[in-house]
Amino acid sequence: MARNGGEFVAARAGAPAEHPDGPGGNGSANGQASPPPPPPIAPEPGSPARFARELLPVQASEEDQIVSRRLYERLSAEDVREIEAAIAQDDQLQAYYGGASDSRHRVFLLLSFGVWLSVPAVLEKVALGAEQPPEEVHAMARGPLAAAGGLYEADMVASALASVGVGIESAAAGLDFGCSSGRLVRVLSAAYPEVRWHGCDPNGPAIEWARDAYPRVNLFLSSNAPPLQLPDGSLDLVCAISIWSHFAPALGLRWFEEMHRVIRPGGHLVCTTHGFTSVDFYVKNTLRTPQQSDEIVGGLYQRGWWYAQEFGADGDWGVINPDWGTAFLSPEWLLTQLCPRWRVLEFAPGRNQDNQDVYVLQRV
């Protein structure tokens, strides 16, 4: 089946039609017994999660573009004209840029395309670097729209913290937990060079590549289970984007305990999870069958979570872990498990890509 939005259209088309006798009827229009409904079609391993990770970011509001504008403001008007001149030489990039409807989108495109085109003003002043992961190295997104790294995610982390009165610049040390090839931490380290940034991931080739690309960040290989190679209370901030959306619940709780160990009292964890909004997201984008969506909702209401090992025998880019698949967590279950060792300062349903829920947790 085709990926990226079309993969479950066949499953949806094959779903049982409404019964001619109406809900609860068990006859048919000609008096014959209705055939049993077809079994649910299982998703292709890992595909819904991967599709969601590769979507073009939903544009944040202007006041939420804290990191993007912090970087953009390093550019002069002459620098912007230089980037626009370079964009104009590429018809496809110019079509994107010319179609930008407001300043929020233009800021995102100027930074991304400026890096993609290696415009000197961007590379020197914004300090994002032009390095892009090769095809054999895991990356959350590729191409000119992703060239500047996780601008959307960095803005999301900064705005979530700002909503509770915390600025990233106040942190002495931060960690991007599950950083892959450094998409988010490269942006954070460029915007806040005064912070000691760390990044970790169990994907060895991604970490190895990112170490060479971003030497100012302390990048290290992590295991599939705690502990991390960090001292107790050594961090002020951890961000984990679409990480607890993959842990099996028991392993996820172990990692929350590890976060409690490495974050100092009063420090913060910004993380995202699949929740009820994600169910709606996958249904609207025909990424999961109606039957499976009902199963997920049932799990959320009955026990507070749903989990499936959806990456198959080969794992997620070679990282094989039976407790790394796709997880949905209800906020009630999460709060019951975490409090009172954590304070929940912010809960924003669907804030990440109109899909995942965003939490700001404070370590007690």
pLDDT in tens, 56-113: 555 567 789 999 999 999 999 999 999 999 999 999 999 999 999 899 999 999 999 9
Closest listed residue to residue 361, CA positions, set 254, 239, 268: 268
Strand order in the sheet with 173-177: 218-221, 196-201, 173-177, 235-240, 263-273, 356-363, 342-352
Residue listed under structure tokens 């990480």: 243
Question: Which CATH class name applies to 149-364?
Answer: alpha beta
- pLDDT, residue 46, reads 55
pLDDT in tens, 250-293: 999 999 999 999 999 999 999 999 999 999 999 999 999 999 99
5: left (phi over 0), alpha (psi -120 to 50) or beta: left
Backbone phi, then psi, for 219, in 5-degree steps?
-105, 135
> d(Cα 201, Cα 314) in Å, to the nearest integer?
17
- pLDDT, residue 157, reads 98
Neighbouring-strand partners of residue 201: 221
- pLDDT, residue 4, reads 30
- pLDDT, residue 196, reads 98
Token duo for residue 210: 């990112």
- pLDDT, residue 74, reads 98
- pLDDT, residue 63, reads 81
- pLDDT, residue 30, reads 38
Token duo for residue 309: 């090992």
Residue listed under structure tokens 């961000």: 239
- pLDDT, residue 20, reads 25
Domain layout of the chain by residue ranges: 56-129, 149-364
- Burial category of 79 from C-beta neighbours within 10 Å (exposed 0-12, middle 13-18, buried 19 and up): buried
Closest listed residue to residue 307, CA positions, set 350, 225, 252: 252
Residues of the chain with confidence (pLDDT) below 70: 1-60
